[in-house]
Structure 1
Amino acid sequence: MTGDELKVRVGPDATEAALERPGTRPFDFTGRPMRGWVVVASSAVSEDQALAAWIDHGHDFAASLPPK
């Protein structure tokens, strides 16, 4: 988390679906949105269950990546 927002790596194929969820926006750190990442407002993760769902989503994507 940065400040009160959560950054989640969801992967390029899931970005559009993630952005349809309430409280999300593109992760734009450099003036260009970073494909595969979303920012989730604190209001959208104020409940433990909602936060856990986003953490699971990010974890699932990370687990799908090949080992480095």
Structure 2
Amino acid sequence: MACNETLANGIREIIRSFSEEFTEKKMFGGLSFLYKGKMTVGIIKEELVVRIVSEKEQAMLDFPYVRPMDFTKRPMKEFIYVSEEGLKTEEQLVQWITLGLEHAKSKLK
């Protein structure tokens, strides 16, 4: 599997503290973490992939370490990549996971 295992283990550790139950699934050639079947965050190689509610997407793209997910050579709606610079602290990773969980819950309504 082509993903950063250190990052995957960090995500696993953090989601244990959430009351929600997550599952893991191989997706996009990497690893994704899902809530009730909806993707929250994932890892492709060294980058974090985050699902973002559309209302927050542009604000997140303003960060220098965030870019649109262009896995298909075109930006995908509500998907962003976060480089290692945006993952330096546990707090940052918690924030990204929380945003991904917010997106998943919005799709379950």
Any runs of at least 4 consecutive aligned residues in structure 1 with deviations exceeding 6 A, and if so which? none
Of structures 1 and 2, the one with the larger relative CO (CA 8 A, separation 6+) is 1
> CA-atom RMSD, angstroms?
1.3
Task: Report the number of matched residues.
Answer: 67
Between structures 1 and 2, the one with greater helix share: 1
The residue aligned with 1:2 is 44
The answer as to 2:78 corresponding to 1:36 is yes
Gaps of 5+ in 1: none
**Residues 16-36 of structure 1, C-alpha deviations (whole Å, 9 max, x = no match):** 111012300000011110011
Task: Give the aligned residue type for 2:55.
Answer: D
Any gaps of 5 or more consecutive residues in structure 2? 1-42
Question: Which of these residues, 80, 93, 101, is aligned with residue 59 of structure 1?
Answer: 101
**Matched residues, percent identical?**
33
> TM-score, normalization: structure 1?
0.87
